[in-house]
Structure 1
């Protein structure tokens, strides 16, 4: 159970289209695999190919070809000073910059979340910015969506951080989410650009390399309940089981373990499902008396020093991508049926939900925002989840009632324990997957807009 305040903002737009069979057909490589539906109210656009990286405006950056195309510094475009608010140090950095072409979303959006996959050698880092165009033809500022490094060396690296207090009176960035301030006015974000700035120490030859950059734009309608879906799959994936609770009190500098570590614990489960894990050298900093040191490692390297926690969604996806040939994205799914299609193709997912304990039978806790790993479905259609909010690794596997679970995940509005109306996540999830996929996996991802 994260301390994360759930920031999903909902738009009063048409009801979400109910679509069961297309997603399952896509998972089987059927006709629905051709293109994601515009009526999903979720638009994903990611730059990943050499052709993608060759577009836009380059200021000292260059597209890299090969098995995993990307973007890197070719030559510095200039120098700048950065005062790190979390170390108190000011340093000079040289930089190069790529500004992507405008992308017109299939969804006039109320929320946007950027995510990226990169490698940043010691002494390098990157900044992701997003500028939206509103339906009234005005533009947002260039909002900082994250300042990120895969490293955490106190001498050579900046502190990984989101940026607070960004607003233009129409929209605001809340940690990792750009959200319209008032969705009832009809104002929407209809297109956006991404800007990527790569930094290194002056005179250095190393460079960040970015393989994937993009954003999810969405306009999920206000709803306290969602339509019930019909079960369409009975399958369970074998995913490692880790409890966040056995880490309670560990590493106060990374938010003290326990309930604050649901996101990195879930991330580590799927990273290891794909056969990746930190080396013994990577884990040498962890107290040897602690069980599952890789969970401690995930918490440290997803930690957002401004948010003061490990629940930054894009930082978790970026952490997953630091492992060889692994990719991570943040998106929304439109239905439990879409999640079934991913499981059918062998793709587990990390989902974000919030609920009172009596809304999810068997959970035994309340949460304003919690991540868990969905690994399958029973013959009756109930959800099989590795829930890190469990007292031990052995207790992590849970079976939750389908109707309860899909509602707490997909709704955008709920009542808290005091009866106040608060927000829900509207189907947010992380998807981690390798660069080499089967045709069925590619089709299942394409059906939910991920390429």
Structure 2
């Protein structure tokens, strides 16, 4: 494989250990139907040359053409290769193109169905069931990122009561003025009683490909970039129902990912450690194997649950009633079930984890990319922990005791020496979850975009990807720290 054809790295490999098992250069025997995203587990060359059908609904405004509009005034931008644009306000929801949707002001600005645009049939590929749904759509204004992008990752926060669901799509524009198809970035519901939450494989236009949750330019070395994009969300409900999904946040992180095996060392900032609940994914080994084989692959939902509870939220007893009462920490099982991507066959879909966190009262959640460890330190100082994605060989992270092709952990603080304090869910018990990792080692494995795997092959690194969860009414210091990394 050449470096330019490596799929972007991702979350823990599905159907295999997230962290404890040795890193493998090939897909596990029980690999899912999609190409496993964790660095170099599958080659990109077999991607379909034409896009798969990306929606069961008509394309609202899909044929719009013309010069890319300037970025909306006030859109937050982080210089240096990362651009975040999220639609969240009442004014945001009034913009764009509506087909059966309207903005709602209370109790939180959002987008709802008011007069369905029509009906459509959707056959769930994971159950085989076909059902008819009313639908309505909203298409965002075109956004021009501060930096032409090689990767885009959408994320959303929404309420989907039983009998409703949403689909999120993205269409990018290249510098030559041509557009990608509308690519599905997720078909999502908070529960699993109506549809199976899913990404969509096989989406490519020959120039860019969707790898589960990441739209990536196939050959970044060619200079090809996505210079603008639009998002479209389709809201669905049972025919005749008065229910509606409510979308509170929709947006994307666009970035021009640099090729680098090492990153510059940063100077340590002030020490601080946040008190974040500690959960081990290994407590759940063998539990609910229908969700990615059980707890050994649950690093992402375990990390998500830690931060959800840091902010004072957790599932109710009624919501946990389905979990075997003999299992410890049932909320981790709950998080795994409600982040599970039935196509990826894993719980590590980045936007699905953020969307799960945002189902809790007044929590915001996004997937973004930070440029430096100093940015993460500033968030910690403001009281905002982060879930980070990284991959490494065992000898690259002293004290980890494992190597991984993709793993999530929760950064909770920094020591006086600037070393990283992490709640690492790959630990053998809850009591062992708190780890201190050497600053320079951790900084490099998280921020690099190229690395050597266990077999010596050049594969991808995550380049600073993280999840950020925070309350709808943050403190002034928290708001300032988030705005400093381009997130509102």
**Pairwise TM-score range, normalised by the shorter structure:** over 0.9
In 2, Cα distance between the equivalents of 1:173 and 1:36? 25
SS for the counterpart of 2:144 is strand
SS for the counterpart of 1:297 is helix
**Per-residue CA shift, 1:302-353, capped at 9, x if unaligned?**
0000000100000000000000001110000000000000000000000000
In 2, Cα distance between the equivalents of 1:271 and 1:433? 9
**Per-residue CA shift, 1:142-172, capped at 9, x if unaligned?**
000000000122xxx1000000000000000
Matched, 1:94 2:131: no
**Over the residues paired in the alignment, what is the CA RMSD in angstroms?**
1.3
Q: Answer yes or no: is the 8 Å Cα contact 2:39–2:459 preserved in 1.
A: no
Matched, 1:333 2:391: no
Q: Which has the higher helix share?
A: 1
Work out which of the residue numbers 373, 378, 383 in structure 1 matches 2:415.
378
Matched, 1:366 2:403: yes
Work out which of the residue numbers 418, 421, 434 in structure 1 matches 2:458.
421
Task: Report the CA distance between 1:176 and its aligned residue.
Answer: 0.2
Task: Report the CA distance between 1:415 and its aligned residue.
Answer: 0.4
Task: Report the CA distance between 1:257 and its aligned residue.
Answer: 2.0
Matched, 1:127 2:137: no
The alignment of Structure 1 onto Structure 2 pairs a total of residues equal to 423
In 2, Cα distance between the equivalents of 1:294 and 1:140? 40
Work out which of the residue numbers 187, 191, 200 in structure 2 matches 1:147.
187
Q: What corresponds to 1:6 in structure 2?
A: 38
Task: Report the CA distance between 1:217 and its aligned residue.
Answer: 0.1
Residues 1:67 and 1:90: Cα distance change in structure 2 (over 3 Å)? closer
Gaps of 5+ in 2: 1-10, 15-36, 41-73
Gaps of 5+ in 1: 9-33
In 2, Cα distance between the equivalents of 1:92 and 1:66? 29
Matched, 1:391 2:428: yes
In 2, Cα distance between the equivalents of 1:38 and 1:395? 36
Q: Answer yes or no: is the 8 Å Cα contact 2:78–2:84 preserved in 1.
A: no
Q: Which has the higher strand share?
A: 1
Q: What corresponds to 2:151 in structure 1?
A: 111
Work out which of the residue numbers 188, 196, 200 in structure 2 matches 1:163.
200
SS for the counterpart of 2:79 is helix
Q: What corresponds to 1:28 in structure 2?
A: none
In 2, Cα distance between the equivalents of 1:364 and 1:38? 35
Matched, 1:187 2:197: no
**Per-residue CA shift, 1:393-436, capped at 9, x if unaligned?**
00000000000000000000000111001100000000000101
SS for the counterpart of 2:196 is coil
In 2, Cα distance between the equivalents of 1:421 and 1:250? 35
In 2, Cα distance between the equivalents of 1:137 and 1:317? 32
Residues 1:37 and 1:324: Cα distance change in structure 2 (over 3 Å)? closer
In 2, Cα distance between the equivalents of 1:197 and 1:186? 32
In 1, Cα distance between the equivalents of 2:238 and 2:294? 33
| TM-score normalised by the chain length of structure 2 | 0.85
Work out which of the residue numbers 58, 61, 64 in structure 1 matches 2:104.
64
Q: What corresponds to 2:315 in structure 1?
A: 278
Q: What corresponds to 1:175 in structure 2?
A: 212
- Structure 1 residue ranges (4+ consecutive) displaced by more than 6 angstroms after TM superposition: none
SS for the counterpart of 1:167 is coil
Residues 1:203 and 1:37: Cα distance change in structure 2 (over 3 Å)? closer
| TM-score normalised by the chain length of structure 1 | 0.92
Work out which of the residue numbers 279, 295, 304 in structure 1 matches 2:341.
304
Q: Answer yes or no: is the 8 Å Cα contact 1:170–1:182 preserved in 2.
A: yes
Q: What corresponds to 2:244 in structure 1?
A: 207
